[in-house]
Structure 1
């Protein structure tokens, strides 16, 4: 994974340098090309130095570690935006040059089209840098508490005003600390959530696992916290994460992990069943579908018509399976809301069927959180969130 990331950054930086020679040649002439090279080296050093110093892939170097990571992020996002936005401009300039015909001597030559393309080329690096910096600032500015009202038909009277706090995609690691997670749990406590849920991708850096679990143990909700696994728990070290959750339950902390299983509690005499499903870690759509079906069959066993059924899943595509089995509310994460949105519309809305916000199907409602943290501190229009959902009858 590290090698692949280094190769990606190096190749992307090389492509960016070639594009800059077309877009704004003066920026990479003379000694300025060494400045570009130095930025590439610093960007790569953010990945290499922690390992070289024996701190591991996500280790924190005192004093320079955080600034180096931020510089690397801003640099990588800037070059990526520049490449995506600059390629069309370079292509148009190439087409113009190919079709250019030298005018007869003495003829008037309009430079308007040429100036337009030259100015557009120079604007691309500035736009990329400005967008990258704004996105990183927004990504690092902390979470918001988002209040969501969920209207349900035939909601049991005992659950009118029932509040659920949701965190998801925290990604404790290079940019998110256990203290940040502690603040998110405290925000749910302060909001008066009756139950708290964590819908996957809790941690990336397992050296911070103990502190991360201790932060979850700060839950003060009357019905505790219920959690499910995401893809990053599987990637980073599933057994360690399972042991972390088991240790919390063993010592009586109000945190319970649900893996294709359910937990039932009563709220003012009304039974509530919370179903939690595992992440469908399989290659290809067919394998994912089979895994989701298997999880649904196992996790929804024993449901009763007298219960209100809630479903927790990391992947929002599980929503149809939850509705088929009677879940009235499904909570998910995974998408980060696309991390970029304009006027409330995610830029990459087409990547997932359920990208961000609320969706209805039959009597079921799905809420896809924009995520509480991030593995890359870049967000525009989709701030990190702690979600507090309130149930209301119709």
Structure 2
């Protein structure tokens, strides 16, 4: 409900900003179109609260959800870009009126109706034209981002050089998927394609680092897609926040059923899995999502608990890897000897310019590679999304190749 209140305020704010930047825009039928679009977008967001999260809209389910997401993104852009321009325009107008009043108070005043001087007029024209470009830019950016969001994943090849890596592990390949979010915008066919891409890349191990599914009606198909894994050492998975929110018991049971049937998928919840590769023992540690519900207050405490349990019995003779949904677990994994930690959760911010995430401040580890001594972290930009909007951060299936440094 809180998200809907925010979206309602965003739409009201967008209307106010547009009226300020372009007074004649929202009049007559155009005001009606804006009001209808805002109400329709809010109704689409509100529908799951009435009918249940997994309920589909009676008509045009996917199209209306895409429209609603695109409209909301455009409204947010209008508010973020248009508000400072509108405030600056008012400041310039106020300054012009103050100068006119000062001039009228002199002995030989300039006519009160005299046009503004050159610099003031230039600033007014620049701000007016810039303000009128805001809605065009908002709609264009939203459209491009939505198109990028639904265009499918890329296969990203990453070479990871690790000091003192045993010869048997030089060339070991890991396929990573994360944040797939099977649900409103991502179906099980998309997940099948992601697993197939890792199969075709010939990876030795596949991993899934959380936020697998949002729509439990698609759980059977989701597990079927994961079970298509053909990697030599199978697929190891961990839980994300969306598993905790959407139906943890059902999802854990589905993973357990696949494993019981001899499938290639194993879920690690504060646990580890050992295997041998070319005579070298390898341990993969998988930790649970650290927050209880949506509370961040317990994050550090739960991460410490997970580290204590999951890394128990680790041997220095092993090559140890760590899987975590939340990338903030990286220092704990590095302290306990994990050579490489793989994470997701951030979606890379979903927006980046020249490779730099626009919301870099939201997470300490946002996107790509990080180092702590001889230990490394890779944070994927995500294989799917719960909101189909991407700029500069494409969805990815990651193929990581270990090399001796």
TM-score > 0.5, shorter chain as reference: yes
Identify the residue that residue 143 of structure 2 maps to in structure 1: 133
Match of 1:5 in 2: 3
Query: What residue in structure 1 maps to residue 106 of structure 2?
Result: none
SS in 2 for 1:28: coil
- TM-score of the superposed pair, with normalisation by structure 1: 0.95
Change in 2 beyond 3 A, CA 1:286/1:21: closer
Q: Which residue of 2 aligns with 1:352?
A: 363
**1:325 maps to what in 2?**
336
Tell me what 1:378 maps to.
Answer: 389
Offset, 1:26: 1.8
Q: Is the radius of gyration larger for structure 1 or structure 2?
A: 2
Match of 1:33 in 2: 31
Q: Which among 181, 184, 201 is matched to residue 191 of structure 2?
A: 181
Answer whether contact 1:264 1:271 (CA < 8 A) is retained: yes
Shift of 1:108: 5.4
Shift of 1:59: 3.1
Does the Cα contact within 8 Å between 1:47 and 1:57 map onto a contact in 2?
Answer: no
1:68-87 superposed Cα distances (whole Å, 9 cap, x missing partner): 11111110000001000111
Which string of whole-angstrom CA distances, capped at 9 and with x for unpartnered residues, describes residues 20-64 of structure 1?
Answer: 110112220112110001111221232345676x5x324334761
Please list, as runs of the form range in 1=range in 2, the aligned pairs for 1:68-147 lying within 5 A after superposition: 68-99=64-95, 100-101=97-98, 102=100, 104-105=110-111, 107=114, 109=116, 110=118, 111-147=121-157
Q: Which residue of 1 aligns with 2:268?
A: 258
Look up the SS of the partner of 1:25 in the other structure.
Answer: coil
Task: Quote how far apart the aligned CAs of 1:107 are.
Answer: 5.0
CA distance in structure 1 between the aligned counterparts of 2:25 and 2:170, rounded to whole angstroms: 62
Choose from 200, 207, 215 the match for 2:225. Answer: 215
Closer, same or farther: CA 227–124 of 1 in aligned 2, 3 Å: same
Structure 1 residue aligned with 2:240, among 222, 230, 234? 230
CA deviation profile, 1:238-279 (whole Å, cap 9, x unmatched): 111111111111111110000000000001111000000011
Cα shift readout 1:111-170 (whole Å, capped 9, x = no counterpart): 211111111110111111111111000010000000000001111111111000000000
- Stretches of structure 1 that go unaligned for 5 or more consecutive residues are none
Q: Select 1:194's aligned residue among 183, 204, 209.
A: 204
Q: Give secondary structure in 1 for the equivalent of 2:402.
A: strand
SS in 1 for 2:399: strand
In the other structure, the counterpart of 1:20 is: 18
Q: Which residue of 1 aligns with 2:107?
A: none
- How many residues are aligned here? 390
Is 2:400 aligned against 1:389? yes
Q: Structure 1: how far apart are the matches of 2:257 and 2:213?
A: 16
* Secondary structure class of the residue paired with 2:242: helix
Kindly report the root-mean-square deviation, in angstroms, between the aligned alpha carbons of the 2 structures.
1.6
Would you say the 8 A contact 1:59–1:174 is kept in 2? no
